[in-house]
Structure 1
């Protein structure tokens, strides 16, 4: 077993065995919903284990990119010890799988949707994660509402 394979296995074991708080930081979801999501992809045949990566790792790489706003796949390359080609291939496959669940997972909101950054007061140790484009700490807040004010959905919690 190569050093990269060993590092990859250790990284994935850490993710599998972490507590919900750590999972939330890494995956932006707790462990139970992550397991259900992976099972849903597998049971519907949307994703399959390959000789290079199991479905769990494919989904973890995807969640790491979208959950941490990682535009550069090089960061994922270093973390998961995978080639850029492999990361991009699995990212696209998981993205397609998520799209296939759109009818069930993504509610339809006919009306208005707005995302805005609200100034956030956080400890100095967390300030880097909450730094936005405008160089001040902020939290992204997404609001969806219909024009009759019958439905409101607020999603807050993503930094920066």
Structure 2
């Protein structure tokens, strides 16, 4: 080495450096390849074998077949609908919703939401004949959710629960017209309603028509609230008490009709347990779950002639293209209902 000239030593040193770089590159490539092979091997160990997958799918199909072929009692207990309704739902999802064996499902929601119809002048319904041109009733209800720690203060309700404030609008026959989930539990019902009315695809209220609301909402055009500081709730009319002034009579009839939304929410939560307690889903997914539960509620109401759960709820919970200028687009006080 001592006999080598300086230029030769520099060339050898440069060649050694290049060789070291090549060796390092080869080592990294080999290590990466070994790690990837080990990862694929471990993944195959954790994933079920094709035979296990076939067995699992077969058991699921066998269980589902048992539900829809054994009896309506079993099917209602597990799926909340009878066998005929479940087959009808599958048919709708395949033909209208384009349901396929993919992860993304497209469903035309217009097949599930109910279109409101005003109460006619010649209506004989004992609860609704007093409210001509009324479309139904609306109210808000809390649904418990899981939210990030930083967002919890916004979702705390008056009952100190972490929940989202869900606005629900229903017809006199207890079918949902419109649902707006996602607002924080601390949001006032009136604020949620204003958001629903001003949205592009929000709640539509025809001029001349209205919804029944409770005292927490604004009494104005399109929304009829009861008299304030006057006996109102249904439990206040029990034990034979009768109204003594016109305002009390109006509130009694108003409360009896508006109670449909209370029963609607009660039946919804009785039917779907995921709405009674917070799930592990994020708030965005939970909003979609709430909407789907309401759509399925409407579907079951239309398809099932006899619903045992509905009878229980009735006894428990009593407490497209259009002219935009023909709809109410604001929520504000007015003299609409002033005598």
TM-score range, shorter chain: 0.3 to 0.5
TM-score, length-scaled by structure 1:
0.43
TM-score, length-scaled by structure 2:
0.23
Greater percentage in strand: 1
Larger radius of gyration: 2
